Amino acid sequence: MATYVARNGIGENQRRVEDFRFLTGHGHYIDDMKLENQAYGMVLRSPEAHADIKSIDATEALALDGVLLVVTGEDWKAAGYGTIPTKSGVRKFKDGSDLKEPPHHAIAIDRVRYVGQPVALVVAESLDACRDAMELIEVDYESLPAVSHQSEAIKDGAPQIWDDIPNNICLDFELGDEDAQKKAFEDADHVITLELINNRVTATPIEPRGALADYDAESGKFTLWNASQNIHANRDTIADTVLKIGKENLHHIAPDVGGGFGGKNGVYPEPILILHAAREIKRPVKWVNDRSESFLSDTHGRDQVSTVQLALDNDGTFRGLRTETVGNLGAFCGTVGPFTPTGGSSRTQGGPFRFDGIYYTAIAPFTNTCPLDPYRGAGRPEGSYQMDRIIDYAAAKLGMDPIELRRKNLIPPSDLPMKSPMGLDIDCGNFPEVFEKTIEISDRAGFEKRKEASEAKGLKRGFGVCMYLECTGGGPKEEAKVTFRDDGKVELSVGTASTGMGHETVFAQLLSGHLGIAMEDVVFRQSDTDATDIGGGHGGSRGLEVGGSAVTQTSRQIIEVGKKIAAHRFDVDAGEIEFEEGRFHVPGTNHTMTIRDAIDSQNDPDSLPDDLEPGCMNISSVFERGIISIPNGGHACEVEVDPETGTVKVDGYWVVDDFGTIVNKMLADGQVMGGIAQGLGQALMENIHYDESGQLVTGSLMDYALPRADDMPRMVIDYYEDAPTEKNLLGVKGAGEAGCVGAPPAIVNAVCDALKEYGVHHIDMPLTPEKVWQAIRDAKAAG
Amino acid sequence: MYDFGIKNPTSVDDVKTALGESDDGQFLAGGQTLIPVLKQRLAMPSDLISLARVDGLSGISAGGDSISVKAMTCHAEVAANADIKSAIPALAKLAGGIGDPHVRNRGTIGGSVANNDPAADYPAAVLGLGATVVTSEREIEADNFFTGMFDTALNEGELITEISFPIPEAAGYIKFPNPATRYALVAVMVAKFGNTVRVAVTGAGPCVFRVAEMEQALTASFSPDSIKDGMVPADDLNNDIHASREYRAHLIGVLARRAVAEANG
Ligand SMILES: Cc1cc2nc3c(=O)[nH]c(=O)nc-3n(C[C@H](O)[C@H](O)[C@H](O)COP(=O)(O)OP(=O)(O)OC[C@H]3O[C@@H](n4cnc5c(N)ncnc54)[C@H](O)[C@@H]3O)c2cc1C
């Protein structure tokens, strides 16, 4: 293999180094692990949406051969463990009172509140023994009335999920300037109102959640391998808050993780249950969800019902925006749950458009459903869906052109930097240019011809756009630690968590580029509480923004130390040393020293100046982001609708994203494509459906539709790179979530454009064939 | 899964013996339906009688006016078979549209027909083409074979050995896939044999069925226009989260018209 040194680490399409491992079956996932003497755990889940547990009888199960332990709520009570807390960034009602956080135990105590809630953990010598035991556990439930829809849950007289939480409301919220919004509404020529449902979906990562717990009785230390996106923070919660064992006694590691999308972010009950079990039986215990359990127990996303109102003038000028949302939380507060429909959905209200006044309110109630937590975008997709749908809806109602409406109202670059009405710090960008570029690459000129061709086949063609504005999130701090090993390898540990995005490639690429060392010498470590002191994991499109910045910062510090070593060797001042392409040199002389030389001499005291200790080039640094970045971009798409069957085919897709600096276009493209696939899934087919009694109807892939390769259009993806942000060291703005922020409104807008001749101007997601057909039928019937 | 034994007979006679020796034996063909059912513990046979090594249960042979497909022939073979592609292209198309490449290379026609899943493709071909199901005991006409949801005329222990399809003058098959499973949400097979026309619908009801009114109309004039909306009342059709019975009734009409158009080339 040729030695590859990234030129400067930025802008190169370095191919993914992890893929060979993944594609040849050499990935190392939880289910690949087996420790000596390992036992297996399986979770008995509630079949009831809301019920009192009268009794649990595990006698027969425990008598089975190979069954080692059955854990129930009674054990939990006896152990006195803590509850799983929410870390929601929004914690106060509008009136200043505290958010209502019900006790979330890892296992049901006395009552179950959603189908799938853990009721017992069975531990046995084999999975089959677990299954046999589960069939023998007798749970006596007394059913209670249940409520699954958030709009029902807040009504007076709705089933109470928590005795002390009136109308099931966990939290309410407001942001913006209501007076300014009201005035804008009064002044405007029109106020257009649209009710929207942002459908409930689930992440369906290819690898289900799973964990392996080990306990060393001698030292009292635990090890937890966990398919998690968030190792450090969750260690603290699990060890300090729930099990009360002290975080120094829990080594938390994520091996390869096969997809997360937010669904592996939170603290879940099962890993806690098996840690308890491992200590009880003094043996390692492994648990892995099956796919049906994933549907029942992985936190879900979205599920917001909103009323959006846009005030605008006859000439199309936007004046005001008001959004009222009711966001489902499920039966408990997720780790970030209450934040999503409140803070999460509020910040990007108004998108990249000018307004006189914006006001956002939300109510977040509990229901008898699985808890909700961030799912790729966590609030921003909801925000952009509201914004870009109301624009097209208003355009249709008022006979305006949706492209012109956007063009007219985009914030011009001359307004930047600015603080948005929702408080976002928009430092840079060029929305009009991004928008025009999107329109340009989408070949609008050829649309009419394509429409005619579709028409000849009996199909309706439509075009839709979206101009989204979003923001990064997640933990602001990240650590990058570099250790030069004796075997010549360079160990790079970062506190971020890749669940497949390609960190192993891009961080190695950055380090290689910065230091001038070979990429294949970089050994990447992540998601291990022993590898870095802190770690923000994965979420909020933060990987490159904070993780990449930390790698850059650590690299710079290493170079500074290297300069001192070089200066010592050449007996000059460190200020005279320059570093370029892996070499320290003194300009105007033939004094050069490679970075490898410097590394080799870092352990030799004689080669070091007095102020440096051996090992001085092994450096760890923490980068802290001050202000979140503002990715933005344009999505355009064309659809073909079969009016006879209602089938929608996305036939063309064009994107221009402003992610600031593009470090590796191939990886960025992958993020955008995957995001579009998930956005397309949400727009056209994905839907988590609970019936009124709280039973999950879409409990398997037989009922939950996911997009497949042949559902995907050809995608043209381009970037606007002329506005790198100064908020981090790389100028990047975050690429991970944007695809599914832009895709749902672009696709729904395109379908509504295709159907405008029938008078169809809105259909709630997912736009299944039947719903599209029904909408056409209803519109025809209405005349 | 619960524990079970496995038997590997090599002839049809051995199959009978193996079955006789089992408390509660069940045939295993491609396993594409049976294995998931076992994994979910929804069945507990004492033994699986694997048909994989039984002589003479696989292959396709074309006669003058019919094509015979042996029970263990997988979907991919039917889709790729030159005789079927030229004589009954609608059948090759149907087989090529089942599941994904893995399923098509494991799943068999015998297993699919014996299973009679209400959303499966093959029942529409067997009924729509008026095929004959040949078993270890007898020959069963398609019209008498599919008796209800997951139910057939097969007796306990009766083995399908082959399916014989008469070659139609023209046939068309249009499937509207369920967005989640890609089984048939509704699919229609239309076949014309001289003066008779057969129309079979799968996916829409609890069991594949023929539509007499469409058949009569098409016998009078084999053209898409002969199919009118409302020829299949919605009342007895499936109603689930994927499609209402009204939508399924509507699709039957649309797909039947398209199937006729396809048959007419
Ligand atoms: C992911 C996936 C997608 C699929 N998509 C589709 C689809 O789009 N359309 C579709 O039609 N099907 C689909 N299938 C089902 C597939 O076609 C199966 O092959 C078929 O249902 C059963 O065939 P098999 O050979 O696998 O039978 P098995 O699973 O081995 O057996 C099924 C049943 O038939 C019995 N049986 C098998 N052979 C015989 C025989 N010769 N005589 C009597 N009884 C017998 C068995 O005892 C068992 O009860 C799909 C399956 C999967 C897993």
Label the pairing between strands A632-642 and A460-469.
antiparallel
Nearest protein Cα to ligand 1, atom 44: B114
Distance set, CA A200 to CA A299, A708, B247 (Å): 11, 19, 23
Domain harbouring A310, CATH code: 3.30.365.10
**Domain-embedded: residue A172:** no
Same domain flag for A463 and A488: no
Q: Quote the pLDDT of residue A7.
A: 55
| DSSP one-letter code for A501 | S
In this structure, the answer to whether residues A228 and A293 fall within a common structural domain is: yes
Q: Which residue of A has its CA nearest to B39?
A: A128
The answer to whether residues A541 and A636 belong to one domain is no
Are residues A304 and A253 part of one domain? Answer: no
Q: In the block, which residue shows the tokens 């039984």?
A: B54
Atom of ligand 1 nearest to the CA of B160: 42
Number of structural domains, chain A?
A: 3
pLDDT surpasses 70 at A646: yes
Q: Is residue A149 a part of any domain in this protein?
A: no
The neighbouring-strand residues paired with A322 are A309, A359
Which residues face B192 on adjacent strands? B170, B197
A439 sits in which H/E element: helix A431-441
pLDDT of residue A2: 42
Model pLDDT for residues A737-752, shown as the tens digit of each residue: 999 999 999 999 999 9
Tell me the shortest Cα–Cα distance from B75 to chain A, in angstroms. 20
Here the CATH number for the domain that contains residue A252 is 3.90.1170.50
Q: Residue A783: is its pLDDT beyond 90?
A: no
- Domain-terminating residue out of A574, A603, A624: A624
For chain A, state the CA radius of gyration.
Answer: 28
Distance CA A224, CA A227 (A): 10
Beta bridge partner(s), residue A309: A193, A322
Same domain, A232 and A90: yes
Q: A63 is written with which tokens?
A: 């008598």
For residue A452, give every residue at least 6 positions away whose Cβ sits within 8 Å of its Cβ, in sequence order, or none: none
Residues A768, A633 share a domain:
yes
Ligand 1 cavity residues, CB under 6 Å = B 26-34, 51, 71, 98-99, 103, 107-108, 110-112, 114-115, 117, 120-122, 159-160, 182-183
Q: Which of A644, A697, A770 lies closest to B254 in CB terms? A: A644
Neighbours of A609 (CB within 10 A): 13
Closest by Cα among A475, A175, A184, A528 to A336: A475
Tell me the ipTM for this assembly. 0.96
Domain boundary among A601, A624, A647: A624
Closest residue to atom 32 of ligand 1, CA basis: B111
Q: What CA–CA distance (Å, rounded) separates A678 from A202?
A: 10
Domain assignment present for A184:
no
> Cis link prior to A85 (omega < 30° from 0)?
no
Q: Is the pLDDT of residue A41 over 60?
A: yes
Please give the mean pLDDT across all residues of chain B.
97
Per-residue pLDDT tens digits for A23-38: 999 999 999 999 999 9
The rounded distance, in Å, linking the Cα atoms of A90 and A98 is 10
- Residue A178: inside a domain: no
Rounded to a whole number of angstroms, the distance from the CA of A770 to the nearest CA of chain B is 6
Three-state secondary structure call for residue A513 = helix
* Stated length of chain B: 265
The amino acid at A738 = A
pLDDT of A4 above 70: no
CA-to-CA separations, B246 to A2, A645, A705, A777, B189, in angstroms, rounded: 64, 12, 21, 12, 20
Measuring CA to CA, which residue among A160, A180, A1, A173 is closest to residue A97? A173
DSSP string, A413-427: GGG-SEE-TT--EE-
DSSP A92: B
Asked if the model's pLDDT at residue A1 lies above 70, the reply is no
The shortest CB-CB distance from A770 to any of B41, B247, B254 is to B247
Residues A305 and A270 reside in one and the same domain: no
Give the Cα separation of A494 and A511 in Å (integer): 12
d(CA A132, CA A477): 47
In a domain, A196, yes or no: no
Among residues A400, A305, A304, the alpha carbon closest in space to that of A753 is found at: A400
The whole-angstrom separation of Cα A38 and Cα A40 is: 7
Non-local (6+) Cβ contacts of A223 within 8 A are: A213, A214, A215, A216, A250, A251, A252, A253
CA distance A174 to chain B (A): 35
**What count of Cα atoms within 13 Å lies in the side-chain half-sphere of residue A783?**
0
The alpha carbons of chain B give a radius of gyration, in whole angstroms, of: 18
Instruction: Say what the pLDDT of residue A11 is.
Output: 75
pLDDT tens track for A600-633: 999 999 999 999 999 999 999 999 999 999 999 9
Residue B260 is encoded by which pair of tokens?
A: 């006729």
Q: Render pLDDT for B209-219 as a digit per residue (tens, 0 to 9).
A: 999 999 999 99
Contact by Cβ (8 Å): B238, B149: no
Contact yes or no for B242 and A697 at CB 8 A: no
Q: A592 in a domain, yes or no?
A: yes
Q: What is the pLDDT of residues A657-709, one digit of tens each?
A: 999 999 999 999 999 999 999 999 999 999 999 999 999 999 999 999 999 99
DSSP codes, A160-222: PSSTTSGGGEEEEEEEE-HHHHHHHHHHSSEEEEEEEEEEEEE---SSPPEEEEEEETTTTEE
Range of the domain at A285: 33-144+207-258+264-297
**Tens digits of per-residue pLDDT, A459-470?**
999 999 999 999
The protein residue whose alpha carbon is closest to atom 4 in ligand 1 is B99
Find, among A572, A590, A490, A551, the residue nearest to A729 by Cα.
A551
**Chain Cα centroid distance, residue A9:** 26
φ/ψ region of B148 (left if φ > 0, alpha if ψ in -120 to 50, else beta) reads left
> Per-residue pLDDT for A89 more than 50?
yes
pLDDT of A196 strictly over 50: yes
Span A432-459, average pLDDT = 97
State yes or no: pLDDT of A335 exceeds 90: yes
Is A681:A706 a contact under the CB 8 Å cutoff? yes
Q: Are residues A502 and A467 in the same domain?
A: no
Residue A410 identity: L
Question: For chain B, which domains are there?
Answer: 5-49 (3.30.43.10), 60-166 (3.30.465.10), 170-263 (3.30.390.50)
Residues in CB range of A646: below 8 A, 6 or more apart: A768, A769, A770, A771, A772, A773, A774, A775, A776
Q: Are residues A494 and A458 in the same domain?
A: no
Q: How far is CA A348 from the centre of its chain?
A: 16
Residue A152, CB-side half-sphere exposure with 13 Å CA sphere: 17
What pLDDT is recorded for position A191?
Answer: 98
Checking if the pLDDT of A14 tops 90, the result is no
Residues B3-48: tens digit of each pLDDT? 999 999 999 999 999 999 999 999 999 999 999 999 999 999 999 9
CA A279 from centroid of its chain's CA atoms: 33
A446 and A537 both lie in a single domain: no
Q: Please give the helix or strand (H or E) that residue A524 lies within, else none.
A: strand A522-526
Q: What is the mean pLDDT of residues A439-452?
A: 95
Model pLDDT for residues A135-165, shown as the tens digit of each residue: 999 999 999 999 999 999 999 999 999 999 9
In-domain check, residue A187: no
A477-484 and A460-469 beta bridge pairing: unpaired
> For tokens 């226009």, what's the residue?
B225
Distance CA A502, CA A498 (A): 7
Distance A78 CA to ligand 1 centre (A): 50
Q: Residue B36 class from Cβ within 10 Å (0-12 exposed, 13-18 middle, 19+ buried)?
A: exposed
Q: Over 50: is that where the pLDDT of A408 sits? A: yes
**Spatial contact of A367 and A329, defined as CB atoms under 8 Å apart:** yes
Among A571, A604, A624, where does a domain finish? A624
Is the same domain home to A449 and A494? no
- A352 close to A657: Cβ distance less than 8 angstroms: no
- Contact by Cβ (8 Å): A361, A176: no
Q: pTM for the full model?
A: 0.97
Residues B75 and A342: their CA atoms lie apart, in Å, by 51
**Closest among A44, B149, B12, B31 to B4, alpha carbons compared:** B31
Nearest to A697 among B178, B241, B250 (CB): B241
B154: left (phi over 0), alpha (psi -120 to 50) or beta: beta
- Nearest-Cα distance to chain B for A340, in Å, is 28
Helix (H) or strand (E) holding A44: strand A39-45
Half-sphere exposure of B249 (CA within 13 A, CB side): 14
pLDDT in tens, A229-276: 999 999 999 999 999 999 999 999 999 999 999 999 999 999 999 999
pLDDT tens string B124-161: 999 999 999 999 999 999 999 999 999 999 999 999 99
Q: What are the pLDDT digits (tens) for A489-520?
A: 999 999 999 999 999 999 999 999 999 999 99
Q: Which chain A residues are within 8 Å of B243, Cβ to Cβ?
A: 770
Q: How do residues B62-82 score in pLDDT, each as one tens digit?
A: 998 999 999 999 999 999 999
Distance between start and end Cα atoms, chain A: 69
CA of B23 from ligand 1 middle (Å) equals 23
Q: Check CB contact of A697 with chain B, cutoff 8 Å.
A: yes
Cα–Cα nearest to A78, from A97, A117, A105: A105
- Provide the 10 A C-beta neighbour count for residue A384: 32
Q: Please report whether residue A158 resides in a domain.
A: no
Q: Are B125 and B94 in contact (CB under 8 A)?
A: yes
Task: Supply the residue whose CA is at minimum distance from atom 19 of ligand 1.
Answer: B107
Question: Are residues A333 and A355 located together in one domain of the fold?
Answer: yes
Q: Are B189 and B168 in contact (CB under 8 A)?
A: no
Quick: pLDDT tens for A174-195: 999 999 999 999 999 999 999 9
